[in-house]
Amino acid sequence: MNSSPSSKHIQAVVVNHNTSKYTELMLRSLFTRHSSDLDLSVTVLDNDSQDDQTGLTAYAKGRGIPVVESGFGLETKWNSHGEVLSKFVLEHPDCAYYLFLDTDTCFIQNDTIDTMLWELEQDSVAFGVAPRLSSDGETEIGEEYWKKVYDYRLHPCCALVRNTAVFRRVVGEVGLSCVQYLWAAGEEYLDTFKLMSLVMRTHGYQHILSSKMVLHFFSVSYDWEPEDVMEFKAGLRDRLLEKLRSLENT
């Protein structure tokens, strides 16, 4: 948000995958909930989205946020998200931190990133920090999701990571993409960021959980959820988006 980078400069990135309204909501909530003192640059990478991008394009232009083609389309053999993020890291070495954002994240508490930054700086063995997640904007997700969502990987929906030589080496050699791990007796799917998180552990680093919470809609880039669930998410998104848009006009 500052024009001149500092020693705490954050390079933030979000990948739009036909989720332009969610991306606009995320950006509006990010700037509404944080002060201009946060040293943050934001880039939107777009996977050739074909949905209505009018609101996103206008807001991004007004904020000076570049919307750049990622080089990937909506249809790839495998999930391109981790590969897009890896490329961004390697092409943006000049920052103190990276902030990885999902399009379907909405900031609901003030100074979330500032708090995450402070918490990360207090822990010398933490390579990254993520907020607690809520699917309704009011309550944290249940304990049954702890290991799935929090414990084994730094969740990329809102992840603040130190830019260190170790992290960049892991990104360069291992990447941030999903992996299918073939054990002798079975197989395991490692979601985006999970292999990276495990490799960082071998270097003595861990990820931590913030005291702050964000709203995360979960899986809006895919059509595998029931239609009524998708409609509920879209309805909540539109109500929040309308509220934030109205603030700009008051």
CB 84 within 8 A of CB 70: yes
CA distances from 140 to 23, 144, 182, 234 (A): 22, 11, 33, 20
At 152 the pLDDT is 86
- Nearest 5°: phi and psi at 198? -70, -40
Render pLDDT for 126-148 as a digit per residue (tens, 0 to 9). 999 999 999 999 999 887 776 77
CB contact set of 60 (below 8 Å; sequence gap of 6+):
27, 44, 66, 67
At 199 the pLDDT is 98
Rounded to an integer, what distance in angstroms lies between the CA atom of residue 22 and that of residue 241?
Answer: 8
At 1 the pLDDT is 64
End-to-end, the C-alpha distance of the chain in Å comes to: 22
Residue 143 DSSP code: G
Rounded to an integer, what distance in angstroms lies between the CA atom of residue 246 and that of residue 144?
Answer: 37
Domains and CATH numbers, the chain: 10-248 (3.90.550.10)
Rounded to an integer, what distance in angstroms lies between the CA atom of residue 12 and that of residue 23?
Answer: 13
At 6 the pLDDT is 63
Q: Quote helix, strand, coil % in the chain, to nearest 5.
A: 35, 25, 40
Residue 129 DSSP code: E
CB 61 within 8 A of CB 27: no
C-beta neighbour count of 48 within 10 angstroms = 14
Going from the first residue of the chain to its last (250 residues), give the mean pLDDT of each consecutive group of 10, the final group possibly shorter: 70 96 98 94 96 97 97 86 97 97 97 98 98 93 76 94 98 97 95 96 97 93 83 94 88
pTM higher than the cut 0.75: yes
CA distances from 143 to 67, 133, 134, 146, 170 (A): 37, 11, 12, 5, 30
User: Which amino acid appears at position 8 of this protein?
Assistant: K
DSSP β-ladder status, 40-46 and 10-16: parallel
Q: Six-digit token pair at 144?
A: 């049954």
At 78 the pLDDT is 86
Q: Is 12 helix (H, G, I), strand (E, B) or coil?
A: strand
User: Taking Cα atoms as reference points, which of 86, 107, 87 lies closest to residue 40?
Assistant: 107
Render pLDDT for 11-28 as a digit per residue (tens, 0 to 9). 999 999 999 999 999 999
